[in-house]
């Protein structure tokens, strides 16, 4: 499949059109950003590792009956995806407290939650992806009520599938961010799922195998991503 025009470049990925109007090539970069892009850097071969990890995760979700935009892994840094209209929401699911939830509620990192939680943020870099609720989403037409219902159900289902997927690899899924797209009047999972977008703690040691190593300068960043890739492809 030939790359034609670049139609979008984000912080970690680029999207290109192809000869097929219904398909795009999603290219994974090594660039890393944190704290609303105030911290920038590169993680060597991150794009290769995230393309591999995300491909495996999308294949697993498909096997579990969850529709995604993933079509196939193409090469080291590229996957073929279905063209969708991205819903302008970041959906965050949490199994334990970390990051912004700790700051918001004064919780200790890793504090237990008695059930998973879900938050919506409006995808807008200039505003720092502010959290919004279902009333904002309805009033500003970010998504319909029916779409919000579907997205919510899908997000919790994806959480259950991924919690088990990672636990089998001796990794605890602490939280993650996902995005959805519209295609033929329905909603499917889009974007990526990788150590850039999840918090992944090694069972037993609590070692962080995700972008927090970059955010907090913990070192061994490439090794952590490599370890996730090794486990998901084992
Ligand atoms: N996340 C993401 N992109 C964002 C914001 C968050 O992928 O723009 C992921 C993040 O990696 C973590 C989860 O969503 O796995 C929850 O992030 P949180 O709200 O705690 O934000 P942070 O502490 O990173 O500011």
Q: From the centroid of its chain, how far is CA 138? A: 24
What pTM was estimated for this model as a whole?
0.97
User: What percent of the chain shows pLDDT beyond 70?
Assistant: 100
Q: Which amino acids bring their CB within 6 angstroms of ligand 1?
A: 90, 92, 98-101, 129, 175-177, 197-199, 211
**198 domain-assigned:** yes
Q: What is the CATH number of the domain that holds 151?
A: 3.30.470.20
Find out whether 164 and 66 touch, Cβ atoms under 8 Å: no
Q: Are 47 and 142 found together in one domain?
A: no
> How far is CA 228 from each of CA 52, 93, 201, 218, rounded to the nearest angstrom?
10, 20, 10, 16
Could you tell me the end-to-end alpha-carbon distance of the chain, in angstroms, rounded to an integer? 28
Does residue 123 carry a pLDDT above 90?
Answer: yes
Q: Are 69 and 121 found together in one domain?
A: no
Q: Are 25 and 11 found together in one domain?
A: yes
Per-residue pLDDT of 142-200, as tens digits, reads: 999 999 999 999 999 999 999 999 999 999 999 999 999 999 999 999 999 999 999 99
Q: Which of 35, 92, 130, 158 is the pocket-test mutation for ligand 1 (most atoms within 8 Å of CB)? A: 92
- Predicted pLDDT of residue 224: 98
**62 domain-assigned:** yes
Q: Are 121 and 35 found together in one domain?
A: no
Q: Are 34 and 119 found together in one domain?
A: no
Q: Total structural domains in the chain?
A: 2
Per-residue pLDDT of 36-48, as tens digits, reads: 899 999 999 999 9
Instruction: Please give the average per-residue pLDDT across 19-32, as a whole number.
Output: 98
| Nearest atom in ligand 1 to 34's CA | 24
User: What percent of the chain shows pLDDT beyond 90?
Assistant: 99
| Nearest atom in ligand 1 to 177's CA | 14
Q: What's the gap in Å between 55 CA and the centre of ligand 1?
A: 20
Q: Are 216 and 150 found together in one domain?
A: yes
Per-residue pLDDT of 199-222, as tens digits, reads: 999 999 999 999 999 999 999 999
- Predicted pLDDT of residue 83: 98
Q: Which of 43, 99, 180 is the pocket-test mutation for ligand 1 (most atoms within 8 Å of CB)? A: 99
**226 domain-assigned:** no
Does residue 1 carry a pLDDT above 90?
Answer: no
What's the domain range around 108?
Answer: 85-221
Task: Compute the mean pLDDT over every residue in the chain, rounded to the nearest whole number.
Answer: 98
**167 domain-assigned:** yes
């Amino acid at each position: 499949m030939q790359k034609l025009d670049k139609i979008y470049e984000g912080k970690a990925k680029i999207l290109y059109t192809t000869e097929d109007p219904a398909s795009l090539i999603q290219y994974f970069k090594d660039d890393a950003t944190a704290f609303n892009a105030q911290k920038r850097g590169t993680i060597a071969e991150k794009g290769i590792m995230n393309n591999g990890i995300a491909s495996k995760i999308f294949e697993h979700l498909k096997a579990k009956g969850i529709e995604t935009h993933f079509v196939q892994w193409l090469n080291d840094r590229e996957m073929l995806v279905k063209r969708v209209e991205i819903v302008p929401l970041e959906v965050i699911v949490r199994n334990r407290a970390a990051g912004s939830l700790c700051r918001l509620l004064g919780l200790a990192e890793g504090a237990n939650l008695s059930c998973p939680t879900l938050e919506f943020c409006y995808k807008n870099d200039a505003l720092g992806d502010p959290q919004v609720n279902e009333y904002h989403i309805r009033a500003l037409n970010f998504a319909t009520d029916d779409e919000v219902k579907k997205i919510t159900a899908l997000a919790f289902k994806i959480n259950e599938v991924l919690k088990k997927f990672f636990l089998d690899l001796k990794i605890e899924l602490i939280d993650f961010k996902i995005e959805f797209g519209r295609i033929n009047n329905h909603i499917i999972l889009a974007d990526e799922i990788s150590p850039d977008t999840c918090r992944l703690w090694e069972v037993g040691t609590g070692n962080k195998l995700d972008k927090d190593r970059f955010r907090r300068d913990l070192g061994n960043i490439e090794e952590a991503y490599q370890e996730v890739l090794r486990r998901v492809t084992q």
